[in-house]
Structure 1
Amino acid sequence: MYELSWVLRSKPEWQRKASDLDILSKWRKEALEQQQSLDRDEKLTEKMARQIQLCGYAKIADSERGIERGCFDAIWYSDRLISDDVAQRLKTAAGALENVPEDAKDWHPGSNGQVLDLVHPSLYCVVYGRTHAYLPDKPREWAISEEFCWLPSDFAVLADGSVTLVSPYINNLHPAKQQPFYRIIEDVVAAFIPMFERVLGEIDKETNVALEESGRIQGVDCVWPGDRPDSDPEEGVDEEEWKRDRNSKKDLPEANTYSGELEQVLSPISLRGRTVQCIIKLANIHLTPEQPKYAGGSWHVEGMANEHIVASGIYYYDEENITESRLSFRVPTGQPEYHQQNDNECMRILYGINGDDECVQAIGSMVTKAGRALSWPNLFQHCLSPFELADASRPGHRKILALFLVDPTVDPIASATDVPPQQAEWAAEALQQARADAASRVSHLPQELVDLITERVPAMTREEAEAYRLDLMAERTAFVGTHSETAYGVRFNMCEH
């Protein structure tokens, strides 16, 4: 049902078309006809084809900003969230970071020279016991980094929905040299706030309604109302007749009549009048005729528990000469406790999972085209699909701006408001500028003393920051493996419970 609904909502002008009863009837007929070759337990029923809730999805959309529900609950997208003016200013400002000497470009470690980091939170991150003005006790849980933390900036969300940067800087964006970026990021954060509010509203414990409680599906504990029939016919029994009789005994899930559950459940949480923390990332993927393919990403969530990232937002602001790419999502599932021993058939019908498969449910994918903004809860693992050059004879690229929202319901984490810039180069430049300013007290100090002060400033050199980044990446690679194994590595046990 989710898949059919999303296929229809991916059509151009789907809301207008869905309001035409003739078109809607045609869609349902086509969906049912395409399943004729499937077994009964694999088919959508007539009720299911009617319960795709297109009218509900239209009602919860934000027509002003183009915000709509994506392929699954709590995943939202818009193809016109960011204005043309902001998009153009972003491209221009990013160009200043891209057009630097080759030896100054920050190619992401391990990316084979394909991923260019313009702003990345792993560089000049918070290092426990090293970063000035932030010396907490080291946390101990496996999901919490004992060494590192990404550094967010604080943004005030005003009553009118606009956003103002509260922190004095954004990590890895020079507050003077890259000053044009600051207003752009404020505008992008402001545009994402309504989308974040929807994501938070759907995962809020007090308002969230589970699928089985939402009235969409008449669930069944098992497809066999009584004891499971034998897996093979008895000797002398006609096999086709035995199959028909066996299949007729199955109690399959059915859809209820839609009665407005989507509108009733959706309850966005307002962030207006609050200060939110966002971690900023800006990165490009570059393909060339020599390296025409991008292998795709790995399944992961963003950050670690001490960063409290509750939602992600990505704006795909530019692409050229690449094939379609998708961002896929999945969630872990619990083991059901009501199946019979070795009943693989029941598990396959109800969950699409066989015995000894991992307890993981794929929940769909979103096309990541230029101009699209996506947001989803950090409860879902996501993975970028492979893509390549559309025309292998010339270069291509994809560029993104990512916002990682820190949970606004917990105590704030250390931010750029608390932690002075750690870039030693910035500190040295500031001291030299102060010495050149006749109105500054530093101007009266001898150069030797200024040099000594520069050496004693508790900042990081570029070499130190890059070394810490490698350590952080190694730690998080291990975390991704542990998280996937712990949350996603449970397998169905087909023995009795």
Structure 2
Amino acid sequence: MLGSQNNDPITELASAISLKYRCHDRGGKGFSYPTAIDSKSHNTSEMLLVREVAMMIVMDRLTDKPDWHLKVYDDTITDKWIQEALALPVEQLYDDIVTDSPGSSNPKMLTSIFDRECLEYCIKELRAKAKFFEETGLVPTLDVDATAVKSDSLVDENLRRRLQAAFATLTQDQNDNPDWHPRTNDKVRNLVHPSLYPFVYGRSRLFLDEVVGVKDAVHRWSGKGEVIPKVSESSGIPAVSDTYQWLPANVKFQEDGSVKFTSYINGLHPNKYPEIYRTIETLVEKALPAWDFCLKQVPNYLHGGPSNEGDRAIVAGRKGSRFPRPRDPDDENEENWTPYFEVFKRAQHAKRGESDKDDSISNPASSDSEDYDEDEVDYEAQSEGGNYYSGTRGQVAWQMMREPVQPAAPEFKAVDYGVKPGDSLRERFKDIQIIVKMASIELTPDKPEFPAGSWHVEGQQNEHIIGTALYYLDSENVTPSHLQFRMSTISDDDYNVGQDSFNWMERVYGTVLRDAQAVQRYGSVETKQGRLLAFPNVFHHRVSPFELQDKTKPGHRRFIALWLVDPYRRVINTGNVPPQQQSWWMEQAFQGLTTQDAEKIPSAVANLLSQSAPGHSISALDAATRGGGSLPGELMNMVKEEAAKIEGPMSLEEAKEHRLKLMDERTQFQSQVESEWESETYNFCEH
């Protein structure tokens, strides 16, 4: 079992300021958690058939139905589900399946996706998942090489009400100075956000040891510690920031099965809100089984990992595609198409024979016209999808109208969805690190729409985020919204196809294989009220747009995000970094100051102190600013000069300036990541 290591402080500090890692390794014994940020990790997906992604989407929607886990055993109901799925418009499914590749046109749409056999496969899979759901409350969804997991029952109504009360308390306490997230047009209100008061290299104070706790964080440690100088050397890793890092809180597993924060949550006052801390601890407990299921650990052979062939990845549930790899996907394989060419020719002959017979009766001269020569060679044509066809006129006509034969659903094989003994986070580690965000999307009649988000992964590499858990506690007067998922794929995977002979593959996989982005869409999951949704950070994801249902009334969607740091790493955290909020320090420093004592403080000094924490009133200091004694001007100037030299905790104004710079840095990083994803393209034309 792994836990906090008592490494040499100098080694820890060197690791902490290293531009390559910004953390220290906790002895992962050769295992690692893959992420979409680290190009060297196991973070890619297979190319998936349009049919398989559509099957996942249908299964996800069916598991949104009330009592689905009971109804799935009723053949009458499941037959109705099958009929409904068969009737789904192809265009509707394609919206969630086909990758929007920049600069590329999509392949021609399949005329149909499902047959009864593949939907019967879905029912068998759902029955297996129903058993797992009854045991755990979890629903694996969109599962192939990675999986999301959802639950509408893990968080009970009591915990949901406690979270609602937490949001109400923080909202009320912050009403005088609400924190609207920059660049959201005052639609996203932050209650707790890691980008405000992040760790800032060259500014934030830090202890080498994790000495900062929860209850003692402010009164004992605020304003203390050493400043780590910023190292301005290139890391060669654009995903690593040399300036900022989100600060996780430390969470320790307790013997009774609960969890306990052992350091404060950045942005949540540890002494004012102990009940909110306990509520979030309970939510972390609920999220652990979801993370256990969806997070994959893989042998890290580059860093002393297992070397035996029997060494396994630690992963629950499905480990790959439901469909076997096609044996002969080449366009020249006539079995990949319907109808066969000879069947097409006979149909054309019969059709033309009937047409010629009618023409000769109505117009005897028509028999002298030029015959349609299906054997004419060197004929070329271009389809609507941009594909070029060549051969005889008859062959080209067949190529342009034929439909691909989609791989048949394989025999259903049961999947072990259980997490193996010894593989859970609680069993493998003594503690974990969690980053917390609490926010509310607020829409009004003047601002009735929330736009689609951009594709992104969470955090930067020095934060080592491996998983996300989102809980949607409250939605009112807003339309449904979904979280969409995709993964990078292996762009140079070797399929047995000839030069320019991959049109069948493009059709059944739903992607252009010539200079198109090597990305696989997985579908989407609804972010409904009461839902806990967890997924690994190998997924790129984005929020779909939503709007007010009744445009005359306000509405909102409130959620809490928990981001899990790689437990094999130990990043700089709130155990190292005392609270940076100047207002917290001021309140603690002057909370015992009586009005009588305050009057002894010169009013100019009291003003100076009050101005250092704008928006935060301390009654005794306020009294001193009005009635305190005076101070000679020369002496006051000396006080100001000395005060300017002291770099204490951050003011809110400074913290917001850092937040904007952090956001700019991450926008640039996400742009670089997106460019890298776009640069990874399929190039089957080189086969």
Tell me the equivalent position of 2:498. 340
The Cα offsets for residues 396-442 of structure 1, whole Å up to 9 and x where unpaired, read as 111111100101122x11111111001111112211136669xxxx9
The answer on whether the counterparts of 2:293 and 2:316 sit within 8 Å (CA) in structure 1 is no
Amino acid at match of 1:351: Y
Distance between the aligned counterparts of 2:192 and 2:109, measured in 1?
A: 51
Question: Which residue, 660, 665, 671 being the options, matches 1:475?
Answer: 665
Change over 3 Å in CA distance of 1:90–1:30 after alignment to 2: closer
- Note if 1:17 corresponds to 2:75: no
The answer on whether the counterparts of 1:294 and 1:387 sit within 8 Å (CA) in structure 2 is yes
Tell me the equivalent position of 1:128. 201
Amino acid at match of 1:3: I
Question: Which has the higher mean CA deviation after the structures are superposed, 108-117 or 17-26?
Answer: 17-26
The Cα offsets for residues 46-100 of structure 1, whole Å up to 9 and x where unpaired, read as 5433332122222332545x22112334201111222222222222222222125
- Note if 1:216 corresponds to 2:322: yes
Amino acid at match of 1:56: A
Change over 3 Å in CA distance of 1:160–1:199 after alignment to 2: farther
Amino acid at match of 2:517: E
Question: Which has the higher mean CA deviation after the structures are superposed, 389-398 or 23-32?
Answer: 23-32
Tell me the equivalent position of 1:409. 568
CA shift for structure 1 position 482: 0.8
Amino acid at match of 2:543: L
Change over 3 Å in CA distance of 1:238–1:50 after alignment to 2: same
Distance between the aligned counterparts of 1:220 and 1:16, measured in 2?
A: 35
> Matched residue of 1:51: which SS?
helix
Amino acid at match of 2:546: F
Tell me the equivalent position of 1:193. 288
The answer on whether the counterparts of 2:180 and 2:187 sit within 8 Å (CA) in structure 1 is yes
Question: Which residue, 404, 409, 418 being the options, matches 1:255?
Answer: 409
Tell me the equivalent position of 1:422. 580
Question: Which residue, 265, 273, 294 being the options, matches 1:170?
Answer: 265
Question: Which residue, 511, 521, 539 being the options, matches 1:362?
Answer: 521
Distance between the aligned counterparts of 1:4 and 1:50, measured in 2?
A: 12
CA shift for structure 1 position 137: 6.9
CA shift for structure 1 position 495: 2.0
Tell me the equivalent position of 1:75. 148
Question: Which has the higher mean CA deviation after the structures are superposed, 259-268 or 146-155?
Answer: 259-268
The answer on whether the counterparts of 1:56 and 1:260 sit within 8 Å (CA) in structure 2 is yes
The answer on whether the counterparts of 1:314 and 1:374 sit within 8 Å (CA) in structure 2 is yes
Aligned length: 485
Distance between the aligned counterparts of 2:115 and 2:151, measured in 1?
A: 31
| Long gaps (5+) in structure 2 | 1-54, 92-107, 207-226, 300-311, 335-340, 342-387, 610-638
Distance between the aligned counterparts of 1:265 and 1:184, measured in 2?
A: 26
Distance between the aligned counterparts of 1:210 and 1:173, measured in 2?
A: 34
Q: TM-score under structure 1 normalisation?
A: 0.86
- Note if 1:57 corresponds to 2:129: yes
Change over 3 Å in CA distance of 1:239–1:9 after alignment to 2: same
Change over 3 Å in CA distance of 1:40–1:492 after alignment to 2: closer
Tell me the equivalent position of 2:278. 183
Amino acid at match of 2:259: V
Question: Which has the higher mean CA deviation after the structures are superposed, 219-228 or 182-191?
Answer: 219-228
> Matched residue of 1:255: which SS?
coil
Tell me the equivalent position of 1:271. 426
The answer on whether the counterparts of 1:224 and 1:251 sit within 8 Å (CA) in structure 2 is no
The answer on whether the counterparts of 2:56 and 2:141 sit within 8 Å (CA) in structure 1 is no
Q: Which has the larger radius of gyration?
A: 2
Q: TM-score under structure 2 normalisation?
A: 0.64
Distance between the aligned counterparts of 1:259 and 1:271, measured in 2?
A: 30
Distance between the aligned counterparts of 1:185 and 1:29, measured in 2?
A: 43
Within a 5 Å distance, the mapping from 1:68-467 to structure 2 comes to 68-72=139-143, 73-100=146-173, 104-133=177-206, 135=228, 138=231, 140=235, 141-167=237-263, 169-200=264-295, 202=296, 204-205=298-299, 206-207=312-313, 214=320, 216-220=322-326, 222-224=328-330, 231-232=389-390, 234-235=392-393, 239=397, 252-263=406-417, 269-272=424-427, 274-335=430-491, 336-338=493-495, 339-354=497-512, 355-410=514-569, 412-433=570-591, 456=646, 458-467=648-657
CA shift for structure 1 position 182: 1.0
The answer on whether the counterparts of 1:214 and 1:261 sit within 8 Å (CA) in structure 2 is no
Amino acid at match of 2:127: C
> Matched residue of 1:90: which SS?
helix
The Cα offsets for residues 131-182 of structure 1, whole Å up to 9 and x where unpaired, read as 1016277572111111100001001122443111111x21111112223211
Distance between the aligned counterparts of 1:62 and 1:236, measured in 2?
A: 57
Change over 3 Å in CA distance of 1:87–1:265 after alignment to 2: closer
Amino acid at match of 1:257: E
The answer on whether the counterparts of 1:428 and 1:454 sit within 8 Å (CA) in structure 2 is no
CA shift for structure 1 position 209: 7.3
> Matched residue of 1:104: which SS?
coil
Tell me the equivalent position of 2:103. none
Amino acid at match of 1:404: W
The answer on whether the counterparts of 2:90 and 2:110 sit within 8 Å (CA) in structure 1 is no
The answer on whether the counterparts of 1:151 and 1:171 sit within 8 Å (CA) in structure 2 is yes
The answer on whether the counterparts of 1:320 and 1:397 sit within 8 Å (CA) in structure 2 is yes
> Matched residue of 2:591: which SS?
helix
Change over 3 Å in CA distance of 1:223–1:291 after alignment to 2: same
Amino acid at match of 1:279: I
Amino acid at match of 1:156: K
The answer on whether the counterparts of 1:51 and 1:216 sit within 8 Å (CA) in structure 2 is no
Q: What is the root-mean-square deviation in Å for CA atoms of aligned residues?
A: 3.6
Tell me the equivalent position of 2:61. 7
Distance between the aligned counterparts of 1:433 and 1:238, measured in 2?
A: 85
Change over 3 Å in CA distance of 1:232–1:211 after alignment to 2: farther
Amino acid at match of 2:411: T
Tell me the equivalent position of 2:358. none
Question: Which has the higher mean CA deviation after the structures are superposed, 40-49 or 291-300?
Answer: 40-49
The answer on whether the counterparts of 1:321 and 1:389 sit within 8 Å (CA) in structure 2 is yes
Distance between the aligned counterparts of 1:256 and 1:91, measured in 2?
A: 46
The Cα offsets for residues 93-151 of structure 1, whole Å up to 9 and x where unpaired, read as 22222125755111111011111111100000000121101627757211111110000
Amino acid at match of 2:464: H
The Cα offsets for residues 201-248 of structure 1, whole Å up to 9 and x where unpaired, read as x454543679997573121155227578993551366946x778x76x
CA shift for structure 1 position 369: 1.2
Change over 3 Å in CA distance of 1:110–1:32 after alignment to 2: closer
The answer on whether the counterparts of 2:140 and 2:148 sit within 8 Å (CA) in structure 1 is yes
> Matched residue of 1:231: which SS?
strand
Distance between the aligned counterparts of 1:36 and 1:399, measured in 2?
A: 33
Distance between the aligned counterparts of 2:174 and 2:316, measured in 1?
A: 53
Question: Which has the higher mean CA deviation after the structures are superposed, 126-135 or 462-471?
Answer: 126-135
Amino acid at match of 1:170: I
The answer on whether the counterparts of 2:249 and 2:434 sit within 8 Å (CA) in structure 1 is yes
